[in-house]
Amino acid sequence: MDVIRNKLELSTCHTKVEWIAAVTIAAGTAATGYPAYKRFYVKDHHNKSMVNPHIQKDNPKVVHAFDMEDLGDKAVYCHSWRFKKFPLCDGSHTKHNEETGDNMGPLTNRDT
């Protein structure tokens, strides 16, 4: 009976050591594998925020053209595409800048 008990205790000890080793190896693999995965397998454009969240998403490239004569003396345009009156600026850049510390501003056309 003592022989069986000793074998069970020895087996339990080896099992704990094996689990500790397995967990250590798994943690080390995850710690090096995940950054490597992010660096080499995830596309760069997935890591950056999209500039145009909702304007003409069915087009591969959005282009807006205006005749200078139609603009008048002054026109102020939003170049971030994040505001409701796009393409005209609605002044939301100011609030955005205060909230985020960003320095984004409008594109302004003046007839000089």
Q: Catalogue the active-site residues.
A: 61
DSSP code string of 34-68: HHHHHHHTS-HHHHSPPS-SSSSTTSSS------H
- Six-digit token pair at 2? 């003592």
Residue 84 Cα distances to 33, 44, 100, 101, 108, angstroms = 42, 28, 19, 21, 18
